[in-house]
Amino acid sequence: MSDCMRDWRYEATIISGLWVHETSQMSDFFEKSDICEVSSAQQHLTNMVIRSHMGLQTSPLKFAIVGCGGIIAPTHVKALRQIPNAQIAAMCDINPETGKPRADEVGCPFFADHTELLEKIKPDVVTVCTPHPVHARIALDAFAAGAHVLTEKPMSVEVALADRMIAAADAAGKLLAVNFQQRFKPSIERAKALVDNGEIGDLVRVLVVEPWLRTYAYYRLSAWRGNWVGEGGAVLLNQSPHTLDLLCHLAGAPRKVWGWIRTLYHQIECEDTFQAMLEYPNGAPGYITSSTGEAGVQRRIQIVGDRGALELVGDTLSVYRFTPSTREFLRTSPEPFGQPDTQVEVVDLPGDAGGHLAVYQDLIAAIAEGRQPRASGREGLMSLELANAITLSSFAERAVTLPLDREEYTDLLNDLKAGRRKL
């Protein structure tokens, strides 16, 4: 058993103490938002177990929100209140001063201990809204109690724990979903459909730039922000999981990563800026960068293939179609400086037609239909593995291949938490 797994419950207790500070200061604050490999056969068996246990869901599902005093919990409450067959059966927070008033407002029982909640309420689904270092602890307890889990992003701080979460869900015949609500935006859904339909062709290049500006005041809001024990990272683990998820969702996971992380703008332990060069299985290159010290520029995602390209700027999607394909044009064109014929379509779709409500609707449908949710644990693992790879590569000063060496990353994270290594 790795050092990380021997110490994870102890560390969760430390994080809980920091979380009290978070919830007491943030009750009215909203943000702007060993390896367990499981084969496809095991995944198929899990889906069969889910179908046999659930059938078609007719009675309301009982939801429990753990971390109800945190800043994101009200968004989950709002979404669940819009779903007729969802009941908020209980809420939990280690800080009763902020957690109990929210439970009282909803009109449900309040607990200060999630294990007591699981034993007494026996919820169908547990929503995890705590700081991410304790996501794994709560999810594993929930699966052991027979509940499905929806966890806030990132699913954990390191891939070794995420592996355990996925394996526990499969063993229990339950679903693990990660709250990547941006996947449900119309522009992202359209882009994903174009990729899946082969309209972009073979991958040629990717580019992602997304600023996530945060002030000094943001990092002073709570003790757990921006340090290795409390957060396991900064921009890579807090803001950029959405960015990394969309990259993996649209282009797939790279096979090799050259990462660079720095603390350039804030007085925190962890990174506020990162960049990475990527190599995909077919050899295509990629580049991604993000920072909490950059303002003024909208997110830009470019996915270029040999038959077409996608560019997302904010919520505006531009689709480029090449005739003939770039590959064919390179081979057959007599013009040394020519270009294939390019047709451009600009699609301006609504920004947030789905959000958290869409995540819950998909999860409830997945439970009823015996299928995996669109942002399953395995899907959520991709962005976490990329984030861990960027950090490991930066400290190792070399390229890192995926799948990531779990033990090597756990050792690095333990050294960073203990102060034996510093950024």
Q: What is the pLDDT of residue 410?
A: 98
Q: Which residues does 326 contact at the CB level (< 8 Å), separation at least 6?
A: 201, 204, 306, 307, 340
The Cα–Cα gap between 23 and 162 comes to 25
How far is C-alpha 81 from the geometric centre of its chain's CA atoms?
A: 23
Q: What are phi and psi of 8, to 5 degrees?
A: -65, -35
Which is nearest to 377 in space by CA: 389, 363, 391, 365? 363
The Cα–Cα gap between 122 and 63 comes to 9
Token pair listed for 106: 């909803």
Q: Give tens-digit pLDDT for 229-260.
A: 999 999 999 999 999 999 999 999 999 999 99
Angle, vertex CA 128, rays to CA 124 and CA 134, nearest 5: 125
Taking the whole predicted model, whether its pTM rises above 0.75 is answered as yes
Q: Is 310 left (phi over 0), alpha (psi -120 to 50) or beta?
A: beta
Q: What is the pLDDT of residue 348?
A: 79
Q: What is the pLDDT of residue 2?
A: 37
> Would you call 287 helix, strand, or coil by DSSP?
strand
Q: What is the pLDDT of residue 179?
A: 98
Q: Give tens-digit pLDDT for 317-337.
A: 999 999 999 999 999 999 999
Q: What is the pLDDT of residue 221?
A: 85
Q: Which residues does 41 contact at the CB level (< 8 Å), separation at least 6?
A: none
Higher-scoring residue by pLDDT: 43, 76: 76
Which is nearest to 189 in space by CA: 181, 200, 198? 181
Q: Can you name the residues that pair with 148 across neighbouring β-strands?
A: 125
Q: Mind listing the domains of the chain with CATH numbers?
A: 3-180+356-375 (3.40.50.720), 186-351+385-418 (3.30.360.10)
Q: Give tens-digit pLDDT for 133-155.
A: 999 999 999 999 999 999 999 99
- pLDDT tier for residue 350 given thresholds of 50, 70 and 90: low
Q: What is the pLDDT of residue 58?
A: 61
Which is nearest to 289 in space by CA: 300, 305, 303? 300
The Cα–Cα gap between 34 and 2 comes to 6
